[in-house]
Amino acid sequence: MKLIRDYPLLISLHKSGSTWVFSYIHKHYRKRGITMPPNNFYSEFFVDDPYFSQRHLRTYSLNKIKNEFIKRSLEERFALLELLRKFGLELALKAHVPEIIDIWPRFKEFYKDYDILVLKRRHIFSHYLHILFFHCVKEAVSKETIGDRILKGREEKSWTSLVPSKIQHGQSEDILKSTIIEYNVQFKHHDIVLKRFTRNIRFLNDVVIEELDKPEVIFTEDITTDWLRNRFNVDLKKTVEPFKTLDFATYFKPEELKIVHDKLYERFDNEFKYMGYLFQ
């Protein structure tokens, strides 16, 4: 099968701008394929985490459609993709590296002939700090929410809703700031975050990019709305916007920020700088 440019597939790490890029891909698919509701609950199709599933089953207990979706195994999800393909249809989705590592051989084979874009953030320190920032928030806030009632527990998992106890489903910048105050979030280095980030960067560059047949590698810092509009031949009236007043570095104490900086720089100097990244 030759390359099918009508069906782009986005692969990236978390916090790389994938929601922004995928918003254009999602609209592109409306004319050519199958789309689900335009939110990460559906578009991050290969999430397969028992705790993630149970949390959503409780949190969204009144939404039968979401409940049915989140219960489906990876095998069932692949079966859906295969059935759609038999009908000549493709499903719009995005793939984050942590979600495809364990299914990589099957994933690679299934999408080998398709228009694959690999999205990277060139400024690796900013990217890592973004990820670490949200890990610290997630560690501090409740790990399960039901309406506006908070249940404590499950410290080892990273899935959570950033919802202060007095506000339901809050995701705005102001609500995030109030969450930080309410839960007295402590921003610091975490070995597990650096370990996972290193693994994911390596997999993206050494496996995904190397094993796929010439995917289009793009840096978030290099693309614009005009580029996305032309690449996918669609226009959006409203686009995803980044936080405007959050400076992640300012939330870390100077001594903690230095630890974060030095530990990541060691990895950067040894290997990441050879992958096209800059330490910014």
What are the tens digits of pLDDT across the range 89-139? 999 999 999 999 999 999 999 998 889 999 999 999 999 999 999 999 988
Distance of alpha carbon 20 from the chain centroid? 11
Are 54 and 158 spatial neighbours (Cβ–Cβ below 8 Å)?
no
Band (pLDDT 50/70/90 cuts) for residue 167 is very low
Write the pLDDT tens digit of every residue in 178-228: 889 988 999 999 999 999 999 999 999 999 999 999 999 999 999 999 999
pLDDT per residue over 27-59, tens digit each? 999 998 999 987 787 899 998 754 444 444 444
Determine the Cα–Cα distance for residues 18 and 166; give it in Å rounded to an integer: 30
- 68, burial (CB in 10 Å: exposed 0-12, middle 13-18, buried 19+): exposed
- Of 90, 119, 84, 136, the closest CA to residue 11 belongs to 119
Q: pTM of the prediction?
A: 0.85
CA gap 34, 215 in Å, rounded: 22
